[in-house]
A = this chain, B = another copy of it.
Amino acid sequence: MIGTELLLGDVLDTNSQYLARELAYLGIDCLHRVTVGDNPQRIRECMSQALSRADILLTSGGLGPTADDLTTECVADLMGVPQITDREILAHIRELFAKRNFKMPVSNEKQALRPEGALTLPNPVGSAPGIIFVLSPEQYNPRGITGDGTKVIMTFPGVPSELKAMWAQTARAYLQEHYGGSSIWSCELKHFGIGESALAEKYAHLLDLQNPTVAPYAGRWECRLRVAAKAADQDAARLLAQPVIDEIKAGSGHTLYGYDDDTLESTVGRLLTERNMTLAVAESCTGGLVSERLTDIAGSSRYIKLNAVTYANEAKMKVLGVSAQTLETHGAVSAECAAEMARGMLDLADADVALSITGIAGPGGGTTQKPVGHVYLGLASRAADGSVVLAGKQLSLGDRLPRAEIRWRTANEALNMVRLHLLGAL
């Protein structure tokens, strides 16, 4: 991990965790991680040591256009090769600037350089590509690096979105093909509404298994059980894992909401699509977070037509038809208001299901009766006879959580409420 900003603590390093997880999934052991600043001598020393003790060196950072971006140069120096300009990359960077109606600064030409002999690791979302540099002992031994097999250097930018895109598009498959030894197949079973320790207790008899292994992880207000099996190939590994997955599936019921990349919002989207139904959301304290998460799913325009963020009382009245009397008697943060919001949204959007959220996200606005973290959810849907059916839920998330966390957890509970409703399990 290369960058003085990391050693100064200006930036929280999340790339390390991402790469560490991905390597674990590929079954590639990562034994050392080193963070170093933008100093060429120290970068080269760290690279040299890393290559002497490992087959694969991944770097993050130092691919930008400025003078303190030194990664590519250090690789070339370390291996004693010149840097050459990749005309295709240069044209690509020029094009990126042209698209934004900027003239490319001369300094960006540097980003088209790569050490002679290295391949380009394409960057689908930014101007700086990385390199894939495959090295034989004949190349690296004379440079003071020990070892006797092929080694590879792969460089990534420090910007997480770019690193992830490059990993997913190119690097993962490359490493899987060349270094992914016995094949590890894994699956995450994502739970909501049950804690990590309760999950661990429920499946205690599975946690000691050797192959497949079962391990619980706590995420952002969800719990995952990771089932991983090792075998000669992916199919064999999957077969090995299947009985355990089936057991968890049967045991977890509706607390199991999905697998791997599934999210609460993608699960809700799938259920709506399967039922050919539409959803509308009226948010207050979450301020658009539920809407944002639901529409982050490609194709969500099939089931989301209209959402509203009715932050002020006037907005709740004018747009959703919440009555002045309800607001006066019970307040905007009340089960009654949530119900009227959901009902009003159902009509306004002419949707099959409407969800409403009103609560106190803090840090201000709490009272003794309704402290920060106090939230009401409402859900309106139409019965077979056309009448409106209402449901509600009250959350007490605790007044010591930060605002963003209260909003995030509220959104999870709200999405889960819609999920359970669609499953007929509310």
Contact = CB atoms under 8 A, between A and B. Distances in A.
What number of copies of this chain does the assembly contain?
A: 2
A6 B64 CA distance: 27
Given A96-B398, A105-B195, A364 B299 contact: yes
Interface string A3-35: 011111111111011111111100000111111
Interface in A158-182: 159, 161, 165
Interface in A377-426: 396, 398, 400-405, 407
B17 A13 contact: yes
A65 B311 contact: no
A291 interface: yes
B5 A217 contact: yes
A405 B115 CA distance: 30
Contacts of A349: 315
Contacts of A24: 8-9
A288 B307 contact: yes
B296 A309 contact: no
A319 interface: yes
Contacts of A10: 21, 186, 188, 217, 226
Interface in A100-119: 100, 102, 105-108
A174 to B, nearest CB: 19
Interface stretch (A130-138, A139-147, A196-204, A267-275): A196-204
Interface residues of A, number: 109
Nearest to A215: B68
A256 interface: no
A304 B296 contact: no
A232 interface: no
A66 B400 contact: no
A201 B107 contact: yes
A165 B220 CA distance: 14
Contacts of A97: 195
A216 B20 contact: no
A66 B8 contact: no
A220 B17 contact: no
A118 B174 CA distance: 48
Contact of A102 (B32, B65, B198): B198
Contacts of A19: 9
A interface, over-half SS: mixed
A326 interface: no
A106 to B, nearest CB: 8
A235 interface: no
A144 B174 CA distance: 40
Contacts of A310: 306
Interface in A338-387: 348-349, 362-364
Interface in A207-237: 207, 215-220, 226, 228
A37 interface: yes
Interface in A266-301: 283, 286-292, 294-296, 298-301
B13 A16 contact: yes
Contacts of A218: 64, 159
B66 A197 contact: yes
Contacts of A206: none
Determine which residue in A23, A286, A296 has the highest number of CB atoms from chain B within 10 A of its CB, and name it: A296
21 contacts: A9-B19, A9-B20, A9-B23, A10-B21, A13-B17, A32-B35, A32-B36, A33-B35, A96-B398, A97-B195, A102-B198, A106-B201, A125-B405, A286-B295, A288-B289, A288-B292, A295-B309, A300-B311, A301-B312, A305-B312, A319-B348
